Amino acid sequence: MDTPEKNQIGTPISEFEDSPVFNYINSLSPIKPVKAANTAQIFPPLSFASPPSSVFTSPHINSQRESRVSRRLSDISRPEFSHSENEDNTSEGVSDAVQLSDLFAEQLGCHSPGRSSGEITSEPPCQNLKSELPKTLSYDYSSLDGDMVPYNVVKTNNVPEMAGTPASPIQFVQDVSEERHHSFESEIELRGICRIEQNKETAGCDWENLISNATDLLISDSSINNEHYEGQDYETVDAGVISFISAVLQLPQDDANDLKKTESDDPVGSCKLDKMEEPVTQPGVGELKVTDQASAILPSTLLDKLVVSDLGVEVDDKGEKCIRSGCKSGSQQQQRSIRRRCLVFDMAGAHKKKLLGDPSGSSMIKSQSDRKDASNEKQLVLIKPGNGYSSSILPGIGLHLNALATTSKDCKVVQHQTLASGRQLIMMPSSVSSFSSLTSDQKPSDKSSTLTSLERDLVPHDNETQVMEDVSQTPAFGVGEEFNHSCPKRKRRRLEHNGESEGCKRCSCKKSKCLKLYCECFAAGLYCIEPCLCQDCFNKPIHEDKVLETRKQIESRNPLAFAPKVISSTNSVPEFGDESNNTPASARHKRGCNCKKSNCLKKYCECFQAGVGCSINCRCKECRNSFGGKDGVEEADIERNETEACETSALDISFRNNEKDKCEEESPDHVTPITPSSKIGRPSVQLPFTFSGKPTRSSSFAVGSSLQSCTSQKLETSDFLCRQPKFRKLLQMIPEDETPEILVDDCSPVGGVKSASPNCKRVSPPHHRFGSSPAWRRGRKLILRSIPSFPSPNPPNKSSDLPGKLQ
């Protein structure tokens, strides 16, 4: 059947028919000639579009694609597909690669609409597909292009994922598979699809619309999607797109009708994307199917992300409305995209604010520090590339991925990527406009996609929880500089109670203009945002100059003023409920508290607020800090610091701490797993760099904490494992010999202290992180270095200065 038709298709042009070459080609494979011609026209340009940075992506993508495709095909009973086969196309071999089939169908139909009378009747759709599908498909098809392709694909996938397709993906897949089976029974998906299309012109139309719309939407939203999903979605994209297309073609009339309905509902193609992204607005069955399929392919990963995204959406009031209402206008779309960013942001956590504020490289550093924190936060790592520009990001990501891959920290890597992508966009919302570097973004996604599988397994709940918390802050950033003080205290309190604001707090400054450390936002290096209740606020991007100037002044007085108050070197084992939970177990307050009446049992106490135990640095009276009183600990800490036995064994320390532990009052959350770790960290808690008075008793703090994290990383243990106190201990047990290196490699970068503290402050590690520069090893000391969260006029100077001082 196919062969003759294909031949015809291939020979639309009478001229060629006569040519011997043409005949020869036909003899080899009818489709091939046509394809070649088409591909030549379509692919090249598309492929060019793909960014160069695909180095990483391509391999990963391919592998993933194959695996997923194979999965999807498994329904069809085809274990694998190879590109070569497709190209060769025994016409039917194409079936193996759904992509190819789609491409062929499109190309054939498009280029020679008249020709492919037999198989491909969906010419009209093909035309649209030409422009759009080919892009995605072609990219997918091409090795390098993964970047571009994934991007589109990701979006599509994302959409479905986000949508949280009501129908179980599996079911959907089955349905589709059944339909497909018919076609496949005939042998080729493509053929089957074509047949279906023939039978159902309407479906074809829908398909066209869907595809075109989807592509448009994807393109337009690429920025958004990229942020969130780049990594994750990327994987699904391939399979998802393919499956999507095939599904569309094969869709039963019912589905087609649904699609039509959706289309009619959403005349604006752009809206579709949003809908696709969000479950409520699901545009069409086809999309749903796609999502379903994708989900089937990448169930856990996507689902996880979807969950997160959903949560974020829910959290974000505005976002919710926009999303759920569906896209009614282009502007709304943008908003949605922004919201999405915000959501993504949420993922990133409080850090996002800083990142936004930091056009400078500081953001990069921060991300790195986060990475160290790897325990809970996976995401930030990739941000480095960053100055916010996706393009720049890509390279960094690539490196990061590579490093991770090498290190075999797949889990972390994946997560980081995802977040990173999102952050990037978020970070540079304004600049982001450019999502121009979609390709770049896509790349990261691709990379991330490679690891997504790992992510699923490894991603702990913590991430999600954190994300949720962060959400509150994100919106402002995503929007960029839009700040509203409109939020009533009620709202704020409400949010706080909900725990949303815990991660990052909003200020309500009245006299300080938010340009003093009184202002929590300012102190955290963040711009005030909508939820803030501040008056006469100057801590806004609009007043960037003032902010920077003031910041400078403050830093001149105290270089560490903007450094996180709480320094945690280790993997934090965030716990649920309290913001303190976010604080790393080994975290310590940099400067220590000076409580007199609160007994360090109330949030007046910064140590308590941060969920960390008091340390030697504290001057508190009658300390009863449930996280760890300074009284008992102090001497021990001092001894330890002096001896620098930090490395000896965290266990010993932990035991001491346990003995000394006063944590009776503490909530169970802290008590169990975290408590020990925190205690462990405690002895070393003192900040090496405290400017105030008690300088360096310890490098120990950094060492100890870093040790934990580092060791864990080196061991390649997954984050969740690291989180496990037991594992930590085991890791800590590791001999000293290893520790130094560990610290050097991972720890230092990550080691950047990250504080889950309400302020969301974090110390950024040295820029070199990625580079395995030895300097990085010095990281311990560098950890405390304060990195301007705001875009500092002269960030480099500061950074350079600080290290010198510290060291």
Partner DNA sequence: GAGTTTGAAACT
Partner DNA sequence: CAGTTTCAAACTC
d(CA 1, CA 194): 12
- Does 762 bind DNA (CB under 7 A)? Our answer is no
d(CA 580, CA 757): 7
Residue with Cβ nearer DNA (17 or 669)? 669
Q: Give the residue from 313, 342, 583, 296 showing the smallest Cα distance to 476.
A: 342
Q: How far apart are the first and last CA of the chain?
A: 77
Name the residue type at position 235: E
- Does 177 bind DNA (CB under 7 A)? Our answer is no
Non-local (6+) Cβ contacts of 206 within 8 A are 248, 251, 255, 256, 259, 260, 263, 284, 286
Residue with Cβ nearer DNA (582 or 709)? 582
Beta strands per DSSP E along 217-334 = none
Part in contact with DNA (CB under 7 A); list of ranges 180-188, 363-371, 603-611, 745-753 = 603-611
SS (H, E, C) 108-141: HHHHCCCCCCCCCCCHHHHHHHHHCHHHHHHHHH
- Does 567 bind DNA (CB under 7 A)? Our answer is no
Residue with Cβ nearer DNA (599 or 718)? 599
Q: Single out the residue of 593, 650, 763, 802 in contact with DNA (rule: CB under 7 A).
A: 593
- Does 523 bind DNA (CB under 7 A)? Our answer is yes
- Does 487 bind DNA (CB under 7 A)? Our answer is no
Q: How many CA atoms lie within 13 A of 744 on its CB side?
A: 12
Residue with Cβ nearer DNA (596 or 726)? 596
Q: For residue 172, which phi and psi values (nearest 5 degrees)?
A: -60, -45
Write down the least CB distance from residue 504 to DNA, Å.
Answer: 11
Interface characters, 525-564, with DNA (x: CB under 7 A): ---------x-------------------x--xx--x---
Q: Single out the residue of 591, 660, 697, 778 in contact with DNA (rule: CB under 7 A).
A: 591
Q: Single out the residue of 382, 605, 612, 731 in contact with DNA (rule: CB under 7 A).
A: 605
- Does 486 bind DNA (CB under 7 A)? Our answer is no
Q: Single out the residue of 328, 604, 644, 648 in contact with DNA (rule: CB under 7 A).
A: 604
- Does 472 bind DNA (CB under 7 A)? Our answer is no
Q: Single out the residue of 516, 546, 552, 805 in contact with DNA (rule: CB under 7 A).
A: 516
Residue with Cβ nearer DNA (561 or 616)? 561
- Does 726 bind DNA (CB under 7 A)? Our answer is no
Q: How many CA atoms lie within 13 A of 789 on its CB side?
A: 31
Residue with Cβ nearer DNA (191 or 354)? 354
Q: Single out the residue of 90, 508, 675, 700 in contact with DNA (rule: CB under 7 A).
A: 508
Write down the least CB distance from residue 522 to DNA, Å.
Answer: 8
Question: Tokens representing 677?
Answer: 């770790």
Q: Single out the residue of 71, 341, 409, 505 in contact with DNA (rule: CB under 7 A).
A: 505
- Does 167 bind DNA (CB under 7 A)? Our answer is no
Q: Evaluate whether 411 touches 455 at the Cβ level (below 8 Å).
A: yes
Q: Evaluate whether 693 touches 618 at the Cβ level (below 8 Å).
A: no
Residue with Cβ nearer DNA (18 or 545)? 545
Part in contact with DNA (CB under 7 A); list of ranges 41-49, 180-188, 567-575, 598-606 = 598-606
Q: For residue 407, which phi and psi values (nearest 5 degrees)?
A: -70, -15
- Does 615 bind DNA (CB under 7 A)? Our answer is no
Residue with Cβ nearer DNA (217 or 753)? 753
- Does 16 bind DNA (CB under 7 A)? Our answer is no
Q: What is the DSSP string of 176-223?
A: HHHHHHHHHHHS-HHHHHHHHHHH-HHHHHHHHHHHHHHHHHHHHHHH
Residues in region 619-638 near DNA by CB under 7 A: 620
Write down the least CB distance from residue 537 to DNA, Å.
Answer: 9
Q: Evaluate whether 712 touches 408 at the Cβ level (below 8 Å).
A: no
Q: Evaluate whether 618 touches 606 at the Cβ level (below 8 Å).
A: no
Write down the least CB distance from residue 619 to DNA, Å.
Answer: 8
CA 308, chain centre distance (Å): 11
Residue with Cβ nearer DNA (242 or 547)? 547
- Does 497 bind DNA (CB under 7 A)? Our answer is no
d(CA 270, CA 453): 30
Q: Give the residue from 462, 678, 494 showing the smallest Cα distance to 577.
A: 462
d(CA 373, CA 695): 24
Write down the least CB distance from residue 342 to DNA, Å.
Answer: 21
Question: Tokens representing 69?
Answer: 């495709």
Q: Single out the residue of 48, 511, 643, 796 in contact with DNA (rule: CB under 7 A).
A: 511
Residues in region 440-469 near DNA by CB under 7 A: none
How many other C-beta atoms can be found within 10 angstroms of the C-beta atom of residue 253?
14
Q: Is 737 exposed, middle or buried (0-12, 13-18, 19+ CB in 10 A)?
A: exposed
- Does 140 bind DNA (CB under 7 A)? Our answer is no
Q: Single out the residue of 182, 321, 497, 597 in contact with DNA (rule: CB under 7 A).
A: 597
- Does 685 bind DNA (CB under 7 A)? Our answer is no
Q: Single out the residue of 182, 324, 603, 726 in contact with DNA (rule: CB under 7 A).
A: 603
Q: Single out the residue of 133, 308, 350, 509 in contact with DNA (rule: CB under 7 A).
A: 509
Question: Tokens representing 504?
Answer: 């990052």
# residues near DNA by CB under 7 A? 43
Read off the DSSP letter of residue 754: B
CA 546, chain centre distance (Å): 32
Write down the least CB distance from residue 474 to DNA, Å.
Answer: 19
Write down the least CB distance from residue 770 to DNA, Å.
Answer: 31
177-210 as b/e: b if 16+ CB within 10 A = bebbeebbeebbbbbbbbbbbbebeebbbbbbbb
Q: Give the residue from 261, 470, 236 showing the smallest Cα distance to 376.
A: 470
Write down the least CB distance from residue 621 to DNA, Å.
Answer: 8
- Does 598 bind DNA (CB under 7 A)? Our answer is yes
Read off the DSSP letter of residue 734: S
Residue with Cβ nearer DNA (137 or 507)? 507
- Does 503 bind DNA (CB under 7 A)? Our answer is no
Q: Evaluate whether 153 touches 50 at the Cβ level (below 8 Å).
A: no
Q: How many residues does the chain have?
A: 807
Write down the least CB distance from residue 670 to DNA, Å.
Answer: 15
d(CA 190, CA 617): 71
Residue with Cβ nearer DNA (441 or 502)? 502
Q: Single out the residue of 16, 22, 518, 655 in contact with DNA (rule: CB under 7 A).
A: 518
d(CA 393, CA 385): 4
Element (H, E) at 352: helix 351-357
Residue with Cβ nearer DNA (98 or 593)? 593
Residue with Cβ nearer DNA (211 or 509)? 509
- Does 758 bind DNA (CB under 7 A)? Our answer is yes
Q: Give the residue from 344, 337, 342, 350 showing the smallest Cα distance to 317.
A: 342
Part in contact with DNA (CB under 7 A); list of ranges 132-140, 216-224, 505-513, 740-748 = 505-513
Write down the least CB distance from residue 527 to DNA, Å.
Answer: 14
Residue with Cβ nearer DNA (341 or 589)? 589
How many other C-beta atoms can be found within 10 angstroms of the C-beta atom of residue 254?
10
Question: Tokens representing 51?
Answer: 């960014």
Name the residue type at position 55: V
The single residue listed with the structure tokens 């009209």 is 124
Interface characters, 686-725, with DNA (x: CB under 7 A): -------x--------------------------------
Residue with Cβ nearer DNA (434 or 692)? 692
Residues of the shown chain interacting with DNA in the complex, contacts defined by CB under 7 A: 488-490, 496, 505-514, 516-520, 523, 534, 554, 557-558, 561, 565, 591, 593-599, 602-606, 609, 620, 693, 758
